[in-house]
Amino acid sequence: MSDKTTHFGYKTVKVEEKAGKVAEVFHSVAGKYDLMNDLMSGGVHRLWKRMTIEMSGVRRGDTVLDIAGGTGDLTAKFSRIVGPEGTVVLADINDSMLRVGRDRLTDLGIVNNVKFSQADAQYLPFPDNSFDVITIAFGLRNVTDKDLALRSMLRVLKPGGRLLVLEFSSPVQSSSI
Ligand SMILES: C[S@@+](CC[C@H](N)C(=O)[O-])C[C@H]1O[C@@H](n2cnc3c(N)ncnc32)[C@H](O)[C@@H]1O
């Protein structure tokens, strides 16, 4: 074990412990994640996700990777836009979240152009230059080595492709005027 630490919510934990703690949280909330998301954001996450789709410039026939896609909100929207000529991969490290996502998309009738992949954002199991669009919504904060994950995303993104990271942060005020 090393002495290196990292953030886990407002806590500081050992680097080696973070993935296990993140997994525990999402295994336990998977069944009620969508309800919690609506309650905790007052439904605003839906607006942010719609903006993400618009900014992605996604088109019919595109190949899309939704990393840390959880219960599949973005995947469902992408799936409708890329149509039968396109593909959307819903990737998440957590099998409980993926299972809820798969059931939900099946209930919505969205399955034909969607693939599911249990994958760690740090070690994406896809060939180089595979995707036109990659998103990671409220997921990067959960990843232990964010640089490693971003490099992995860049590797699988096609040249000229678009990566969108949807995340919370504290605004920084510049004093250099
Ligand atoms: C807050 S949820 C976001 C779900 C979805 N993107 C949304 O916006 O509703 C975070 C997701 O990140 C996933 N996750 C955490 N660490 C991950 C990793 N290293 N690689 C891939 N997914 C990860 C969790 O399992 C969880 O489903």
């060939």: which residue's tokens? 127
Query: What was the pLDDT predicted at 111?
Result: 80
Query: What was the pLDDT predicted at 176?
Result: 62
- HSE toward the beta carbon, residue 45, CA cutoff 13 A: 18
In a domain, 148, yes or no: yes
User: What domain range is 11 assigned to?
Assistant: 5-166
Task: Tally the residues of the chain.
Answer: 177
Query: What was the pLDDT predicted at 169?
Result: 81
pLDDT band at 1 (very low <50, low <70, confident <90, very high): low
State the distance from the centre of ligand 1 to the C-alpha of 70, rounded, in angstroms.
5
C-alpha–C-alpha distance, residues 106 and 115, integer Å: 12
User: Looking at the predicted structure, is the pLDDT value of residue 177 above 60?
Assistant: no
In a domain, 177, yes or no: no
Query: What was the pLDDT predicted at 148?
Result: 98
In a domain, 99, yes or no: yes
101 lines ligand 1 (CB under 6 A): no
State the distance from the centre of ligand 1 to the C-alpha of 108, rounded, in angstroms.
21
86 lines ligand 1 (CB under 6 A): no
| Mean pLDDT, all residues of the chain | 94
66 lines ligand 1 (CB under 6 A): no
Closest C-alpha residue for ligand 1 atom 1: 138
Assigned token pair, 123: 């070690």
Ligand 1: atom nearest CA of 68 is: 22
**Considering its fold, how many domains does the chain have in total?**
1
138 lines ligand 1 (CB under 6 A): yes
Backbone angles phi, psi at 138, to 5 degrees: 50, 35
In a domain, 68, yes or no: yes
What digits encode the pLDDT tens for the residues 54-83?
Answer: 999 999 999 999 999 999 999 999 999 999
What digits encode the pLDDT tens for the residues 99-122?
Answer: 999 999 999 999 899 999 999 999
State the distance from the centre of ligand 1 to the C-alpha of 153, rounded, in angstroms.
15
Q: Is the dihedral of CA 150, 50, 37, 167 positive or negative?
A: positive
- pTM value is 0.94
Q: What is the torsion angle, in degrees rounded to the nearest 10, for the CA atoms of residue 173, residue 141, residue 37 and residue 10? A: -70
pLDDT band at 45 (very low <50, low <70, confident <90, very high): very high
Query: What was the pLDDT predicted at 118?
Result: 98
69 lines ligand 1 (CB under 6 A): yes
In a domain, 42, yes or no: yes
Mean pLDDT score, 17-34: 94
Rg value, the chain, Cα: 16
- Report angle CA 61, 156, 127 to the nearest 5 degrees: 90
Closest C-alpha residue for ligand 1 atom 10: 139
In a domain, 144, yes or no: yes
Mean pLDDT score, 6-28: 93
In a domain, 39, yes or no: yes
In a domain, 30, yes or no: yes
Burial 75-112 (b: 16+ CB within 10 A, else e): bbbbbebbeeebbbbbbbbbebbbbbbbebbeeeebee
C-alpha–C-alpha distance, residues 22 and 134, integer Å: 22
pLDDT band at 146 (very low <50, low <70, confident <90, very high): very high
Ligand 1: atom nearest CA of 144 is: 19
